Amino acid sequence: MLRRSSILFFSFLILSTACNNSTRSTIASEIKSRFDGHYVYPILSWAGKNPAEIGCIIEKHFDYRDSIFNCDHNNYINKGDPCVLTDAYYEGIQFPSTLTSKISPLIKDIGLSFENGSLQEIFVTFKDSIEKNKLEELFQLPKDKVKLPEDIMRIDYGDNIYSSDKPVDTNYTKWLTITAFEHISAPDMDCE
């Protein structure tokens, strides 16, 4: 008997192939399965994708069509520059706050940060504290942070030490950050 995580992994592979091929094939509108009264969602699969690919995923699975980054935006190429065309360099889709409950009612907000045409970081803020081990299951995160997928640099679900709104118990968290690659700013590029 296949474990639930195996079934979700195969569903994710089908979804990734369909989105990467930019086909409009019929895919189940939701690839979620029950988990402790909530749903499991492979948010990890978004890391490193471009804004149009993520817009297409959001369009196909959440019935939300972004006016710029959607399934019709084929062959997206970022034309920005961290020194001169900074707005274009950091352009990307933002996850609509009205859709967060479709991923999980536990989520307050999802932030996406793009650089040079790729999703650099995903920030998830929860409405309340959540157990870290449940967080791993909820988003299909690897339990061993040493064995991360090749397009993931770091996963942090600790708490901001400067926040006054953090759980007392260290087994709980209110934040999740998935980093695909390190942020590169204008000073890092020796912009003059």
Predicted confidence at residue 159, as pLDDT, reads 59
pLDDT category at 162 given cuts 50, 70, 90 is low
Q: Which of 149 and 120 is assigned the larger pLDDT?
A: 120
188: pLDDT strictly greater than 80 = no
Q: CA separation (Å) from 53 to 19, 90, 185?
A: 7, 16, 24
Q: Which of 191 and 60 is assigned the larger pLDDT?
A: 60
- Amino acid at site 184: I
83: its two tokens: 């020194």
70: pLDDT strictly greater than 90 = yes
Q: What is the mean pLDDT of residues 179-188?
A: 70
52: pLDDT strictly greater than 70 = yes
Q: Which of 116 and 160 is assigned the larger pLDDT?
A: 116
pLDDT category at 77 given cuts 50, 70, 90 is very high
- Residue 122 pairs with which residues in a beta bridge? 112, 178
31: pLDDT strictly greater than 50 = no
Q: What is the mean pLDDT of residues 62-79?
A: 92
